[in-house]
A and B are shown apart, each in its own frame.
Chain A
């Protein structure tokens, strides 16, 4: 099978986010690896996804789950070798699955040779590769991101007796992007992987590349310029590849990352995600529609990336205090579930393991404009372990079957990189791929069906969106259009049956065809269109004029 050669392939993508370490262990050392991941590509192809995003797998002391990189051109030994990666890449492409890898631009591990050199003396040629200072008072007022662990953005280096800047953990010093050598080297790093065949990069922590005094050191114009330069080079030398931005910012601040279609291809829509959960609890579409109203239009060749959960905490940075308190009270009653202004829980536990709610949220994810991301394990409804530190509770081993180590690894259970989920509700014996594959009505089978429905029409990935505002505020309804296809999506956000009247006069004369059962619904006339919906139900209608 060939990779479809479409410059805008990312608009039609369905991305699966996976942790190499957590997916499948082929060597028996207790930790997942690339060979194992390659073996599970058939499962992923069957699921229907067509793009795979992996968590960082470069060599690293693993003090931040791989985001602290100590070598940009290799593979961490516990995941295999560079050759293993190449074999895996080839296998993925054969199954028409594109590969997106992490590229942490902003900082390295303090174990990286560059930092070792940089700190060794004040005169080292690589001294300027990091941001050093005599005092820790520069860039005052910049917010601290890992509030639960760090007290300052400056850390004291006893070796060179100066402070170095770090926006994240203190063992992750920030690279100095004012230095052209740094920029050149990072391009070469990216080029290394692009030449190997990698299709896209998820660029981590991009807002923080550049610091300037008197600013909040986020989203600065200099940062955007650097990215535009990278993009220009990408387009020149590797057309058809993609940059995905990780920038947890308000919509207005996110827009600049798309530039004029000359910067990032995609960016995560962070502000939307907590509001989807909020709307569900409030049983009110207002948080969702309002944030989307505030979301600016983006260039034609750009795309939002939508997700329900990921490897990090469900971040509540971009909400008001009232909203944050509400989310904490409703979704994270126990303090242990809260971390760094977020909630560290998986999708299923957040939704009380309610199948209907999981379907509804996935339905909204798949039908809003943007490319959806499925976090590994959420397709079977895996649970989380809040007793593991940091965000590791949502990074437990993938549960393949009900047998030894849940089918994840042949090693001793004590040797696993992380304990398995064992409780009767979310444990591997209750929740696993093998048992769900057998049943047509499992969450896994349902997820396959909805992915198929989504892929059946380009309208979801490429179409416009127009919100309907029915008077019943518990119903979220919108129309997607692309070319000749028009889709009406109606979602009942509430726990109780609802009646809703939709103003469909612009579409008068069309018959509604429900997309899953393919049954026709009455024709749209002059009167408001009445729909009755069960709890948490959603409809996808295709409008046809017959």
Chain B
């Protein structure tokens, strides 16, 4: 079966000139000229400082920028032709860039980067988000060293996050991924991560690239694929995460990419997650969580409002997804005033599992199922904000841990729903 060619002729020519490398760092961009210059300089400094003797390349996969992002990446290359005399390097460092078709998509970018890594036989690879403005050269070492020296196949990051940042991860992705796939990966949807050439080849051979999941959520599938394939995972503490702007509508997109793909993955990997075993921690370099508690502007009232409205307006949709009991409880909860409202861990876990099961059975269009989860998640986020408003980072962490345990404890109910009775 002929594969689609994702490497254009021009890009292939550039890759031929780069030749075999030891380290490949991929940077996906789309109109990121404001931040990518600084990010690429930090990457370069990291390579020169920690891996001066290794053959390295920076590969940029661009979604069609019109603001010169590609040129900024290319300008970082070090060769005998560019007299960048203030930078000392033992070797040539190529920085190549290609534009992939079909509009910006981080998954297509990842696909391109993986293909380049395989072609160049890179044994260690990393991907760095173009807006990681908090990046230090040391991040390159923290991400790559476990791969180059210790033989790990996937290194996900651990960030110093604000205690209210990444709520979708902490309330749904991390606990559910942990309960189902049995690995305590704090950032299952990583934006800065490292992986081995072995995992790259394995992942390229997976059957997701021609499907929807391959276009929107390859990152989380990479984590799942690594777990399912028996690869060695680790996580490495990097530093504070750069704050990324999110608008209300982006939440739907974020859900599709992460939760949607997570649900979809359950179809393909039944043999991996359909067990009753306990989750295991993965080797962690540095602390495995760090929370800060600066003041942050939040609007819990709005979250609660959107939850209530969601439950009310989406009743016909929720009816086909949730069990009667769960829906009734939700409606009861929605009827309470804001001060008394609480989306308990138990109820949330039941909600999540019932949604997963409904997705599996495709009771209605799968994309609609994912969209329907959004207002419910908002309710859970509201509860999280309120519970942890004055909490210390240790207390927050233990609350998250409690939620994880609940997800793991109720896993059998998902297994039951999956096969037979709804």
On A, residues with C-beta under 8 Å from B are 282-287, 289-290, 293, 320, 322-323, 326, 469-474, 494, 496, 498-501
How close is B87's CB to chain A, nearest CB, in angstroms?
A: 12
How close is B80's CB to chain A, nearest CB, in angstroms?
A: 4
Q: Top 3 A-B pairs ranked by shortest CB distance? A: A471-B17, A289-B80, A473-B92
Most buried by A among B52, B80, B90, B94: B80
Q: B91 to chain A: which residues have CB within 8 Å?
A: 282, 284, 286
User: Taking CB as reference atom, which chain B residue is nearest A288?
Assistant: B80
Q: B90 to chain A: which residues have CB within 8 Å?
A: 282, 287, 322-323, 326
How close is B393's CB to chain A, nearest CB, in angstroms?
A: 41
Contacts known (A320-B88, A322-B52); A472 close to B19, Cβ less than 8 A: yes
How close is A155's CB to chain B, nearest CB, in angstroms?
A: 38
Whether A293 contacts B80 by the Cβ 8 Å rule is: yes
User: Taking CB as reference atom, which chain B residue is nearest A293?
Assistant: B80
Q: A499 to chain B: which residues have CB within 8 Å?
A: 16
B57-96: contact bitstring with A at CB < 8 Å (1 yes, 0 no)? 0000000000000000000000111010000111110100
Whether B53 contacts A326 by the Cβ 8 Å rule is: yes
How close is B22's CB to chain A, nearest CB, in angstroms?
A: 11
Whether B19 contacts A498 by the Cβ 8 Å rule is: yes
Whether A470 contacts B17 by the Cβ 8 Å rule is: yes
User: Taking CB as reference atom, which chain B residue is nearest A289?
Assistant: B80
Whether A474 contacts B79 by the Cβ 8 Å rule is: no
User: Once bound together, how far apart are the Cα atoms of A472 and B88, in whole Å?
Assistant: 20
Give residues 182-234 of B contacting A (CB, 8 Å): none
User: Once bound together, how far apart are the Cα atoms of A470 and B79, in whole Å?
Assistant: 11
How close is B73's CB to chain A, nearest CB, in angstroms?
A: 16
Whether A290 contacts B16 by the Cβ 8 Å rule is: no
B14 at the interface (CB under 8 A from A): yes
Q: B19 to chain A: which residues have CB within 8 Å?
A: 472-474, 494, 496, 498
User: Once bound together, how far apart are the Cα atoms of A469 and B80, in whole Å?
Assistant: 8
Interface CB pairs A-B, < 8 A, 13? A284-B92, A285-B80, A290-B80, A293-B83, A322-B88, A326-B90, A469-B81, A471-B13, A472-B16, A473-B19, A473-B80, A474-B19, A496-B19
User: Once bound together, how far apart are the Cα atoms of A323 and B89, in whole Å?
Assistant: 10
- A286-B79, A293-B83 are known; give 9 further A-B pairs, CB within 8 A: A286-B91, A290-B80, A322-B90, A469-B80, A470-B17, A473-B94, A494-B19, A498-B19, A499-B16
B290 at the interface (CB under 8 A from A): no
Whether B14 contacts A471 by the Cβ 8 Å rule is: yes
Whether B80 contacts A286 by the Cβ 8 Å rule is: yes
Whether B88 contacts A469 by the Cβ 8 Å rule is: no
B20 at the interface (CB under 8 A from A): yes
User: Once bound together, how far apart are the Cα atoms of A399 and B221, in whole Å?
Assistant: 65
> Out of B13, B17, B52, which one reaches A473, CB within 8 Å?
B17
Q: B52 to chain A: which residues have CB within 8 Å?
A: 322
User: Once bound together, how far apart are the Cα atoms of A473 and B82, in whole Å?
Assistant: 13
How close is B321's CB to chain A, nearest CB, in angstroms?
A: 55
User: Once bound together, how far apart are the Cα atoms of A287 and B17, in whole Å?
Assistant: 18
User: Taking CB as reference atom, which chain B residue is nearest A498?
Assistant: B19
User: Taking CB as reference atom, which chain B residue is nearest A285?
Assistant: B80
User: Once bound together, how far apart are the Cα atoms of A258 and B90, in whole Å?
Assistant: 30
User: Once bound together, how far apart are the Cα atoms of A285 and B94, in whole Å?
Assistant: 13
Q: A290 to chain B: which residues have CB within 8 Å?
A: 80
Q: B20 to chain A: which residues have CB within 8 Å?
A: 496
User: Once bound together, how far apart are the Cα atoms of A336 and B89, in whole Å?
Assistant: 28
User: Taking CB as reference atom, which chain A residue is nearest B92?
Assistant: A473
How close is A221's CB to chain B, nearest CB, in angstroms?
A: 27
Most buried by B among A474, A494, A498: A474
Q: B81 to chain A: which residues have CB within 8 Å?
A: 469
User: Taking CB as reference atom, which chain A residue is nearest B16?
Assistant: A499
Q: A283 to chain B: which residues have CB within 8 Å?
A: 55
User: Taking CB as reference atom, which chain B residue is nearest A528?
Assistant: B13
How close is A323's CB to chain B, nearest CB, in angstroms?
A: 7
User: Once bound together, how far apart are the Cα atoms of A287 and B90, in whole Å?
Assistant: 7
User: Once bound together, how far apart are the Cα atoms of A295 and B107, in whole Å?
Assistant: 48
Contacts known (A282-B91, A284-B92, A286-B91); A469 close to B17, Cβ less than 8 A: no
User: Once bound together, how far apart are the Cα atoms of A322 and B88, in whole Å?
Assistant: 10
User: Once bound together, how far apart are the Cα atoms of A264 and B8, in whole Å?
Assistant: 55
Q: B17 to chain A: which residues have CB within 8 Å?
A: 470-473, 500-501
How close is A275's CB to chain B, nearest CB, in angstroms?
A: 11
User: Once bound together, how far apart are the Cα atoms of A320 and B52, in whole Å?
Assistant: 13
How close is B74's CB to chain A, nearest CB, in angstroms?
A: 12
How close is B38's CB to chain A, nearest CB, in angstroms?
A: 25
Q: A498 to chain B: which residues have CB within 8 Å?
A: 19
User: Once bound together, how far apart are the Cα atoms of A283 and B13, in whole Å?
Assistant: 19
User: Once bound together, how far apart are the Cα atoms of A92 and B94, in whole Å?
Assistant: 52
User: Taking CB as reference atom, which chain A residue is nearest B81?
Assistant: A469
Q: A286 to chain B: which residues have CB within 8 Å?
A: 79-80, 89, 91-92
Q: A289 to chain B: which residues have CB within 8 Å?
A: 80
Whether A469 contacts B16 by the Cβ 8 Å rule is: no
How close is A535's CB to chain B, nearest CB, in angstroms?
A: 13
User: Once bound together, how far apart are the Cα atoms of A6 and B52, in whole Å?
Assistant: 48
User: Taking CB as reference atom, which chain A residue is nearest B82?
Assistant: A469
Q: B13 to chain A: which residues have CB within 8 Å?
A: 471, 501
User: Once bound together, how far apart are the Cα atoms of A474 and B80, in whole Å?
Assistant: 12
User: Taking CB as reference atom, which chain B residue is nearest A475?
Assistant: B17
How close is A235's CB to chain B, nearest CB, in angstroms?
A: 38
Whether B53 contacts A473 by the Cβ 8 Å rule is: no
Q: B94 to chain A: which residues have CB within 8 Å?
A: 473
User: Taking CB as reference atom, which chain B residue is nearest A471?
Assistant: B17
User: Taking CB as reference atom, which chain A residue is nearest B96?
Assistant: A471
Most buried by B among A284, A322, A494, A498: A284
User: Once bound together, how far apart are the Cα atoms of A284 and B14, in whole Å?
Assistant: 16
User: Once bound together, how far apart are the Cα atoms of A471 and B88, in whole Å?
Assistant: 20
How close is B1's CB to chain A, nearest CB, in angstroms?
A: 28
Q: B53 to chain A: which residues have CB within 8 Å?
A: 326
Give residues 383-415 of B contacting A (CB, 8 Å): none
Q: A472 to chain B: which residues have CB within 8 Å?
A: 16-17, 19
Q: A473 to chain B: which residues have CB within 8 Å?
A: 17, 19, 79-80, 92, 94
Most buried by B among A286, A320, A470, A498: A286
User: Once bound together, how far apart are the Cα atoms of A502 and B83, in whole Å?
Assistant: 20
How close is B204's CB to chain A, nearest CB, in angstroms?
A: 23
How close is B9's CB to chain A, nearest CB, in angstroms?
A: 13
User: Taking CB as reference atom, which chain A residue is nearest B80?
Assistant: A289
User: Once bound together, how far apart are the Cα atoms of A473 and B80, in whole Å?
Assistant: 9
User: Once bound together, how far apart are the Cα atoms of A282 and B19, in whole Å?
Assistant: 13
How close is A158's CB to chain B, nearest CB, in angstroms?
A: 48
Q: A282 to chain B: which residues have CB within 8 Å?
A: 90-91
User: Once bound together, how far apart are the Cα atoms of A284 and B20, in whole Å?
Assistant: 12
User: Once bound together, how far apart are the Cα atoms of A375 and B89, in whole Å?
Assistant: 32
Q: B79 to chain A: which residues have CB within 8 Å?
A: 286, 469, 473
User: Once bound together, how far apart are the Cα atoms of A404 and B53, in whole Å?
Assistant: 47
How close is A281's CB to chain B, nearest CB, in angstroms?
A: 10
Q: B14 to chain A: which residues have CB within 8 Å?
A: 471
Q: A293 to chain B: which residues have CB within 8 Å?
A: 80, 83
How close is B88's CB to chain A, nearest CB, in angstroms?
A: 7
User: Taking CB as reference atom, which chain A residue is nearest B48?
Assistant: A322
How close is A367's CB to chain B, nearest CB, in angstroms?
A: 18
How close is A289's CB to chain B, nearest CB, in angstroms?
A: 4
User: Once bound together, how far apart are the Cα atoms of A4 and B83, in whole Å?
Assistant: 43
How close is B57's CB to chain A, nearest CB, in angstroms?
A: 11
User: Once bound together, how far apart are the Cα atoms of A469 and B79, in whole Å?
Assistant: 9
User: Once bound together, how far apart are the Cα atoms of A472 and B19, in whole Å?
Assistant: 8
User: Once bound together, how far apart are the Cα atoms of A290 and B91, in whole Å?
Assistant: 11
Give residues 70-129 of B contacting A (CB, 8 Å): 79-81, 83, 88-92, 94
Q: A284 to chain B: which residues have CB within 8 Å?
A: 55, 91-92
User: Taking CB as reference atom, which chain A residue is nearest B17?
Assistant: A471
How close is A21's CB to chain B, nearest CB, in angstroms?
A: 39
User: Once bound together, how far apart are the Cα atoms of A473 and B89, in whole Å?
Assistant: 14
Q: A470 to chain B: which residues have CB within 8 Å?
A: 17
User: Once bound together, how far apart are the Cα atoms of A285 and B53, in whole Å?
Assistant: 14
User: Once bound together, how far apart are the Cα atoms of A500 and B16, in whole Å?
Assistant: 8
How close is B266's CB to chain A, nearest CB, in angstroms?
A: 44
How close is B219's CB to chain A, nearest CB, in angstroms?
A: 31
